[in-house]
Amino acid sequence: MTRQTKKYTIVLLMMMLLLSACGSKSDSGGGKTDEAQNNGSASKERVVTVYEDAKRAESEEMKKKIADFTKETGIKVELNIVPGDGLEIYKKIDVDMISGEKTDVIRLTNPILTDKYGSNGWLYPLDELMAKENYDANKIYGKYLPKFQDGKTYVLPDQAGKWAVYYNKKIFDDAGVPYPTGEWTWDDYIETAKKLTNPAKGIYGSYMLDYDNYMYMLARQYDVSGYKEDGTSNYDDPAFKKALQFFGDLGNVQKIQPSWLEFKSKKLSWDGFMSGDYGMHFIGTWYTNQFKDKTTYPRDWKVGITQIPVPADGKGNNNFGIVAGYGINKNAAHLDDAYTYVKWMAENSYKYNGNLPARVDLSDEDIKALFQKTSDDLNGEITVDEMDKALISNNLGFVDEKIIGPGSTEYSNIILQEAELYLVGQKSLDDTIKSIKERADRAIKDAAQ
């Protein structure tokens, strides 16, 4: 070894030692701040800790909502930010729960999650807390209040979304296509999307995501249940086969939206519509929020809204939707403040995100006022009348968006897994339906034990 290299080695080793010393210091520093927070909450300052995904945590709506909550109640909100997208964050939260993490509040974005967390004993029952102050959840939330087998209340709902078609007016204008209004069928939707699709410019007429309910949305519109009378899976009902084929064709045959392959290989995301490359987006009303947030999503186009298309045979004239809500971790570090937070969010968050509230005690005027505010927030891009027509004053019925029942978590996973095989052409439609039915039957049986 030459003297030169020796020198380098010594310098390098010294550097490493130095850096590692700093490293361990910063480690312990991190630990300390955690402690400080906990001590702080034990004394005067009231704090509630809440899980949120990275994107929502950064959103203007969230910041404003939290600021107002703190102003009103004096409780500070600390977000436990979970990176990831959509359902991905619940993998992390699951693991947290099992390891006894004390973060207080969990937002449950769909009924399957609500059921999974509530029925498996991870949430704190709210009944006593509500009884103490005579809080009548039934009167406020009525049919939207999530129910559990043990009769307790674990979750207060903050939104009861419906579905609608949002459209990019610029793409319509460029293609010289009139905006969609009022009643229309899926055939109309496909026709319109075809006119908007322009491969040369990288524009698709339609955009849909990779959620389980897209795989069977048509069946839900016909109000075909995911379960038979005897409790087994109803996936062999022809409606499900038709629904899956319909969804697959949109990308693979009609080519009006990214095919499943393209969606997955490009890792397209739930907020893809905001990129301005798609003409229409069929999605739940929670999405309204994205249009308000021009910091995260700067855009040079205007948005419109219209109602969900229906099957041409007139037998499936339904809109659908889901209830989302907040629950409290059973290991919560700040129980009372968490309860205050959940209650406040359930009652008020519709005022911020432009989604439909899960409250039955609001009058038509209240809803109109909500639409008015959303319209104002969007500088009138969408009018009160358009929202009312798309969501409320139309001839559509209402059904559940998801398949909810025994083993629904597994059921949903099976559908996604098997449907993907069909969508990428690995499995035939009949085989896919058959194996969904078989596997779902087993999952339902396992869940019953």
Partner 1 sequence: MGTLLRKSLFNLFMLLLGVIMVVPFVFMISASLKAPGEVFVNPMQIIPDKIYTLNYETIFHHKYYFHWYWNSFSTVVMTVLLRGLLVTMAAYAFARLSFPGKNIIFLFLLSAMMIPHDTTIVAKFMLYKYMGLINTHWVIILPAAFDVFFIFLLRQFFMGIPKDLTESALIDGASHFGIYFRIILPLAVPALITMGLFTFIWTWNDFISPFIFINDINKQLVTVGLEYFQLEAGKNYALQMAGACLIVVIPITIFAVLQKYFVQGIAMSGIKG
Partner 2 sequence: MKSHAKASRRGFFSSITQWGYREKGAAWVFVLPFVIGFLIFNIIPMAYSVYISFMDYNSFKALNSIKLIGFDNYVRLFHDPIALNAFVKSFIYTLFYVPGLILLSFLVATLLNRAFALRGLTRTLILMPYVANVVAVSIVWSILLDPFGGPVNQLLTKLGMDPPLWLSGVKTALPTIAGINIWQSLAFQTIVFLAALQGVNKELYEAADIDGASRWKRLWSITLPVISPTTFFLVITSIIGSFQNYASVRMLTNGGPGTSSRVISLNIYEEAFTLNHYSYASAQAIILFAIVLVITIIQWKGQKRWVHY
Distance in Å, CB of 434 to partner 1, minimum: 31
Q: How far is the CB of 428 from partner 2 (least distance, A)?
A: 12
Q: How far is CA 311 from CA 221, 243, 396, in A?
A: 8, 11, 12
Eight-state DSSP code of residue 308: P
Tokens of 411: 């059921």
Which string of b and e fits 95-127 if b means at least 16 CB within 10 Å?
ebbeeebebbbbbbbbbbbbbbbbbeebbbbbe
Give least dist CB 26 to partner 2, A.
22
Cβ distance to partner 1 smaller for residue 68 or 78:
78
Which one among 85, 136, 173, 430 touches partner 1, defined by CB under 8 A? Answer: 85
CB of 91 to partner 2, least distance (A): 5
From partner 1, partner 2, none, which one binds at residue 264 (CB under 5 to 8 Å depending on kind)?
partner 2
3-state helix, strand, coil in the chain (%, to 5): 50, 15, 35
The two beta strands, 76-82 and 47-53, are parallel
Question: What residue type is 151 in one-letter code?
Answer: G
Which two structure tokens, joined as six digits, stand for 161?
């979304």
Token match 């029952």: residue? 125
Rule CB under 8 A: is residue 160 a binding residue for partner 1?
Answer: no
- 199's tokens: 């491969």
* DSSP reduced 3-state for 167: strand
Residues 424, 234, 224: CA angle, nearest 5 degrees: 90
Q: Which does 420 bind (CB under 5 to 8 A by kind): partner 1, partner 2, none?
A: partner 2
Answer for which of 7, 11, 14, 23 binds partner 1 (CB under 8 A) is 23
Residue 24 binds partner 1, judged by CB under 8 A: yes
Say whether residue 298 binds partner 1 (CB under 8 A).
Answer: no
- The residue (of 96 and 386) whose beta carbon lies closer to partner 1 is 96
Query: Which of 319, 121, 287, 289 has its CA nearest to residue 217?
Result: 319
By CB under 8 A, the residues from 264 to 323 that bind partner 2 are 264-267
Residue 244 dihedral angles phi and psi, to the nearest 5°: -65, -40
Q: Are 218 and 316 in contact (CB under 8 A)?
A: yes
Alpha helices (runs of H) in 405-449, residue ranges in sequence order? 408-423, 429-448
Span near partner 1 by CB under 8 A; candidates 97-105, 160-168, 220-228, 345-353: 97-105
Of 13, 95, 253, 312, which one interacts with partner 2 (CB under 8 A)?
95
Q: Is 238 in the site for partner 2 (CB under 8 A)?
A: no
**Contact with partner 2 (CB under 8 A) among 336, 426, 428, 429:** 426
Q: Which does 417 bind (CB under 5 to 8 A by kind): partner 1, partner 2, none?
A: partner 2
CA–CA distance, 84 with 365 (Å, rounded to integer): 38
11 contacts partner 1 (rule: CB under 8 A): no
Rounded to an integer, what distance in angstroms lies between the CA atom of residue 43 and that of residue 61? 30
Nearest Cα to Cα of residue 401 among 209, 160, 228, 165: 160
Question: Which residues in the 226-285 window bind partner 1 by CB under 8 A?
Answer: 266-269, 271-272, 275
**Would you say how long the chain is, in residues?**
449
Binder to partner 1 among 60, 84, 147, 249 (CB under 8 A)? 84
When binding is defined by CB under 8 A, the residue of 191, 236, 249, 262 that contacts partner 2 is: 262
Determine, following the binding rule CB under 8 A, whether residue 16 of this chain makes contact with partner 1. Answer: yes
Q: In Å, what is the CA distance from 66 to each residue of 73, 111, 113?
A: 10, 24, 23
- Pick what 394 binds: partner 2, partner 1, none; C-beta below 5 to 8 Å, kind-dependent: none
Number of residues that bind partner 1 (CB under 8 A): 37
Give the residue carrying structure tokens 């397209």. Answer: 268
| Residue whose entry in the numeric block shows the structure tokens 């949002």 | 166
Under rule CB under 8 A, residue 19 binds partner 1: yes
24 binds, among partner 2, partner 1, none (CB under 5 to 8 A by kind): partner 1
Which residue's CB is nearer to partner 2, number 39 or number 120? 120
**Chain-centre distance of CA 91, in angstroms?**
15
Least distance to partner 2 from the beta carbon of 446, Å?
A: 8
Question: Contact residues for partner 2 (CB under 8 A)?
Answer: 91, 94-95, 97-98, 116-117, 120-122, 260-262, 264-267, 409-410, 413, 417, 420-421, 423-427, 435, 446
Question: Contact residues for partner 1 (CB under 8 A)?
Answer: 1, 6, 8-9, 16-17, 19-20, 22-24, 26-27, 30-31, 54-55, 80-85, 92, 95-96, 98-101, 266-269, 271-272, 275
